Amino acid sequence: MRMYDLIIKKRNGLELTKKEINYFVQNYTKGNIPDYQASAFLMAIYFQKMNMRETADLTMAIVESGDILDLSKIKGIKVDKHSTGGVGDTTSLVLTPMVAALGIPVAKMSGRGLGHTGGTIDKLESFNGFSVEITEEQFINNVNNKNIAIIGQTADLAPADKKIYALRDVTGTVDNISLISSSIMSKKIAAGADAIVLDVKVGDGAFMKTYEDAKELGSAMVNIGKNIGRNTVAVISDMDQPLGLAIGNALEVKEAINTLTGKGPKDLLELCLTLGSNMVVFAKKANTVDEARKMLLKTIEDGSAIAKFKEFIEAQGGDISQLEDTDKLPKAKYIVPVKSDREGYVTKINAQNIGLVAMELGAGRATKESIIDLAVGIILNKKRGEKVAKGDIIAYIHSNNESNIEKATKGILQNYKIEKEYTENIPLVYDVVR
């Protein structure tokens, strides 16, 4: 087989075989195919597209390029959840203990990414002593005994994706549905998921800007799942404003604790119930999502969700006195209200830009080397559709550096759109693709 022939074949709009797709993925990962040929090939895929079968084969080829986590020693159906990325997305922190409280195994391997805030691991490190440096054996034991554990990335998962993604990033070939969906699904499958619940965000704070694009991506991933025998569902949810009220690491941990004790923001809870109920059904602990939703709500009402969270934090070395008294979580030196300079209704909160303001305060990493400040971030005080008077507080800045407050204030004011009327009715959950 020659790479040259595969480029011509795809360029001419023909369907690639499984063998050909494997040939490309294996040899590009090993360094046997030069970037210029891989670039041409990706561009051919970009224009000529791949069908469902090719996309499923590409996904499995990427999975097989590296380690596949063996979770077979964990009893039960392992259901994973993945979000395509939003701002202030606290769902994982809330969902995982709720689901685990129902006896469903939650086995998460996570890395640390770039972004507006840290990833789930960074957020959890708001608890003194909390560590994801556990052995795989400990990890599996914890999941079997407590139904929940999180481990830092130890295995070399989907190395082909790292290489291909880096090339796509610089060759204008990121936004192709087959390439995106195989990239996301391969990582979940390599991490050992038996079933997958996807949260596909739509809006200006998301990768997918329109409902149509988000639905297409969701459907593609559900189809991959169908093709490779992993139950998959995609929830299409709003990211035209940040989710919940908190954007920042310790701030989101506190928001998660509030939500687990029934005092959290409604939108965050609602999305957790929608995603979680699908996880519960996949895990075969309920027959319908309605039944699952009731079971999940009960974990909040009867205290089992927060008890599970506490058990999880303690098992991984975290100081649970900070959970009992959230004033002990990392706290910023300055908490500064941002006041509206107009009256009207909040019609839009630009999630992307608000996320960047949080990152500049130190809540997220701009580069891999950046150090996160767990204490800082933003608490929204008004959300879309709410009425504000001039002088009302729309948000609070949590900062450890007096000199960045003015810029953050401006950034928040600029990205809150306040108008005479609010007539739009953007849903939190647009659709669930099965």
- Catalytic annotation, residues: 82, 161, 168, 183, 187
User: Which of 91, 299 has the CB closer to Ca ion?
Assistant: 91
Provide, rounded to whole angstroms, the least separation between the CB of residue 56 and ligand URA: 16
Nearer to ligand URA, 42 or 408 (CB): 42
CB 216 within 8 A of CB 177: yes
Nearer to ligand URA, 10 or 188 (CB): 188
At residue 127, the 3 state secondary structure works out as coil
User: Both tokens of residue 324?
Assistant: 């009992």
x/- letters, 83..112, toward Ca ion (CB under 5 A):
-----x-x----------------------
* Tokens 């602990």, residue located: 285
DSSP conformation class of 16: P
d(CA 227, CA 55): 9
CA–CA separation, 9 and 12 (whole Å): 5
* 246 near Ca ion, judged by CB under 5 A: yes
3-state class (DSSP) for residue 235? strand
Between 188 and 383, CB nearer to ligand URA? 188
> What interhelical angle do 18-30 and 52-63 show, nearest 10?
40
Part of the chain binding Ca ion (CB under 5 A), chosen from 123-131, 134-142, 243-251, 393-401 = 243-251
Could you say which of Ca ion, ligand URA, none residue 142 binds, taking C-beta under 5 to 8 angstroms by partner kind?
A: none
Tell which residue, 161, 172, 173, 169, has the closest CA to residue 66.
161
Residues 160-179 that bind ligand URA (CB under 6 A): 165, 179
Q: Residue from 86, 244, 276, 411 that binds Ca ion (CB under 5 A)?
A: 244
* Binding-site size, Ca ion (CB under 5 A): 4
Task: Output the smallest distance, CB 164 to ligand URA, in A.
Answer: 9
Q: How far is the CB of 197 from ligand URA (least distance, A)?
A: 16
Q: Shortest Cβ contact with ligand URA: which residue?
A: 183
Contact between 196 and ligand URA by CB under 6 A: the answer reads: no
- CB-neighbour burial class of residue 31 (10 A; exposed 0-12, middle 13-18, buried 19+): exposed
Q: 162 is written with which tokens?
A: 């790292």
| Shortest separation between residue 261's beta carbon and ligand URA, angstroms | 33
3-state secondary structure of 322: helix
Contact 237, 428 (CB under 8 A): yes
Q: Smallest gap, in angstroms, from Cβ of residue 182 to ligand URA?
A: 8
d(CA 320, CA 406): 35
Q: Does 180 bind ligand URA (CB under 6 A)?
A: yes
Question: Which among 37-45, 82-90, 179-187, 226-234 is the span making contact with Ca ion, rule CB under 5 A?
Answer: 82-90
To Ca ion, the closest distance from the beta carbon of 425 in angstroms equals: 21
Quickly count: other Cβ atoms within 10 Å of residue 147's Cβ.
24
Angstrom distance (rounded) from CA 148 to CA 99: 9
202: tokens are: 């739509």
Measure the CA–CA gap between 167 and 433, rounded to whole angstroms: 30
Q: State yes or no: residue 296 binds ligand URA (CB under 6 A).
A: no
Strand 393-399 versus strand 377-380 pairing type: antiparallel
Interaction partner, residue 183 (Ca ion, ligand URA, none; CB < 5-8 Å by kind) = ligand URA
* Inter-residue contact 268 to 243 (CB < 8 Å): yes
> Are 240 and 203 within 8 A, CB to CB?
yes
Residue 184 as a binder of ligand URA (CB under 6 A): the answer is yes
Specify whether the CB–CB gap between 356 and 106 falls below 8 A: no
Q: Give the total of residues touching ligand URA (CB under 6 A).
A: 6
Q: Which of Ca ion, ligand URA, none interacts with 379 (beta carbon under 5 to 8 A by kind)? A: none
Q: Which does 239 bind (CB under 5 to 8 A by kind): Ca ion, ligand URA, none?
A: none
180 binds, among ligand URA, Ca ion, none (CB under 5 to 8 A by kind): ligand URA
* Of residues 377-416, those binding ligand URA (CB under 6 A): none
Is residue 353 part of the contact set for ligand URA (CB under 6 A)?
no
Query: Is residue 183 near ligand URA by the rule CB under 6 A?
Result: yes
Strand order in the sheet with 387-388: 387-388, 344-349, 416-419
Give the footprint of ligand URA on residues 203-262 (CB under 6 A). Answer: 207
Q: Which residues bind Ca ion (CB under 5 A)?
A: 88, 90, 244, 246
Q: Which residues bind ligand URA (CB under 6 A)?
A: 165, 179-180, 183-184, 207
